[in-house]
Amino acid sequence: MGYGFAQENLKRAGSWRLGANPMVTKRKKYLWRHKSGRWYVRKTINGKLHYLGRIQAEDGTADFDREYWEIVGGKRAAVKTSWNALIAAMRETDKWAGFSPRYRKDLEPVFQYLAEKLGNADVSRLTQADVYDAMDKNRHRVNFANYIPIAIRMLCKLAIRKRWRQDNPAIGIEKLRVPKARKKPHQPWTDWAVEKMRTEGKPLPRLIFEIGVGSVQRPGDWLDFQWGDYDGDTLKLRQNKTDKPLLLPCTQALRQALDQAKADLGAAPHPTRHILTRHDGSAMSYHAMARVMISERKRLGLMAFDQHALRYRGVMELAWAGCTDDEIASYSGHSSKKMIIKYAGEARQIMRARQAAAKRK
């Protein structure tokens, strides 16, 4: 940082300006200017530097002084056209209500992030550079970072309709790419891995395993199954991601696992009781389920095969049974056939290779 820039910080923090508001007779010792030109209020508390807020008003105005003292005093006023107000308005729209639960769940953490970072700031002041800055600060979690412009673009469309903005700064934003080193394709469960889980797996992880393979659904959907969704032959659900209703005939292995789990309860479970539960009978969370499966996969030496790949194993088994891509999609609920083509194609190649080997003998 150059000498001139440092001097500017020192001057602006003082009370030397002519015509200044009487409030600025006190030195603004917590005022700091970033090299980008933006002004912040920051303070050292218990040896750590804390950013108390960014001043949105133009330098040299009474609003600038007012914002500074409001931030310092913890009394920063909320703007009527703030991000908090915009997010609240979005949640009241028919568009938001029409999104699938899964999509709303993906957007909520980003809304929370925007509320924490921008909160009472005026929606009109956000620039495209700010959007890129937010993405860069979250590049360690690429999926989250790429949802930032999606959420902002959606919110700014509403802001334009409300005349809070004239443009949409999130249009044309380039997505971050996952580094190749971090890309780990899911490896479908092999025959020996399936056999090992079925013969040596503990009851709960084996039940999770059979639901994953037998239902051919995403892990997030396994948690939603309730005993009322199982009639002894089929499972019904409404997919979280697509909001698509499905009725799934159970495989023999899945029926056996479900019937055994029901018998282990001792009494007929209430229809609203979740099939996958904790020890106390409460619904199992995604992270709790993941911990159960990781622990069991470590114990059995199956860490190469994760729970997401159980869905692909199910796709492969359907392909081995002679199902077409359309038939597989009707079972799995895939809205795109890209992943079906990939894993069903692998299954068909294996099947044809085995047929060729049998003819070769």
* DSSP 8-state code for residue 126: -
CA distance linking residue 107 with residue 98, whole number of Å: 14
User: Tokens 């609920």 identify what position?
Assistant: 333
Structural domains of the chain sorted by starting position, each given as residue range(s) with its CATH number in brackets = 3-73 (no CATH), 83-182 (1.10.150.130), 191-360 (1.10.443.10)
Strands (E) located in the chain:
31-33, 39-45, 48-55, 234-238, 245-249
CA distance linking residue 71 with residue 42, whole number of Å: 10
Four-CA torsion 218, 222, 228, 230, nearest 10 degrees: 70
> Three-state SS for 274?
strand
> Three-state SS for 41?
strand
* DSSP 8-state code for residue 39: E
Render each residue's pLDDT in the chain as its tens digit; 361 residues.
444 444 455 445 443 333 344 444 567 888 988 887 888 888 887 777 777 777 878 888 888 888 888 877 766 555 688 898 999 999 999 999 888 777 888 899 999 999 888 888 889 889 999 999 999 999 888 889 999 999 999 999 999 999 999 999 999 999 888 776 555 667 889 999 999 999 999 999 999 999 999 999 999 899 999 999 999 999 999 888 778 889 999 999 999 999 999 999 988 899 999 999 998 889 998 889 999 999 999 999 999 999 889 998 998 899 888 888 888 888 888 777 777 888 788 888 888 888 888 887 6
pTM listed for this prediction: 0.58
